[in-house]
Amino acid sequence: MGFLEKVLQLDDVIGQLECAEHLEELQSVIEWLRDHYAVDDMVYHWVSSNGTQYGCGTYDPAWVQRYLEKGYLRIDPVVLGCYQRFHPVDWKRLDWSGKAARAFLNDAVAHGVGNQGYSIPIRGPNGQFALFTVSHSCDDAEWESFTEIHRRDLILLAHYFNQTALKLEPGRTPEPTQPLSPREVETMTLLAVGYSRAQVAETLSISEHTLRVYIESARFKLGAMNTTHAVARAIARGQIVV
Render pLDDT for 73-110 as a digit per residue (tens, 0 to 9): 889 999 998 887 778 899 999 999 999 999 999 999 99
Question: Between 5 and 236, where is the model more confident?
Answer: 236
Quote the pLDDT of residue 4. 36
Per-residue confidence (pLDDT) for residue 175, from 0 to 100: 54
More confident residue, 112 or 8: 112
Residue 225 has a pLDDT of 76
Contact yes or no for 95/140 (Cβ under 8 A): no
For residue 242, what pLDDT band results from cuts at 50, 70 and 90? low
* φ/ψ bin of 194: left (φ > 0), alpha (ψ from -120 to 50), beta (otherwise): left
Per-residue model confidence (pLDDT) at position 27:
92
Mean pLDDT estimate for the chain? 86
pLDDT at 133: 96
More confident residue, 15 or 56: 56
Rounded mean pLDDT, 140-160: 90
Position 140 pLDDT exceeds 50: yes
- Quote the pLDDT of residue 177: 61
Percent of the chain with pLDDT over 70: 90
Highest mean pLDDT among 13-22, 70-79, 121-130, 224-233: 70-79
pLDDT, mean of residues 108-130: 87
Domains of the chain, earliest start first: 3-168 (3.30.450.80), 182-236 (1.10.10.10)
pLDDT of residue 2: 44
Using 50, 70 and 90 to split pLDDT, how confident is the model at 33?
A: very high
- d(C-alpha 23, C-alpha 155), whole Å: 20
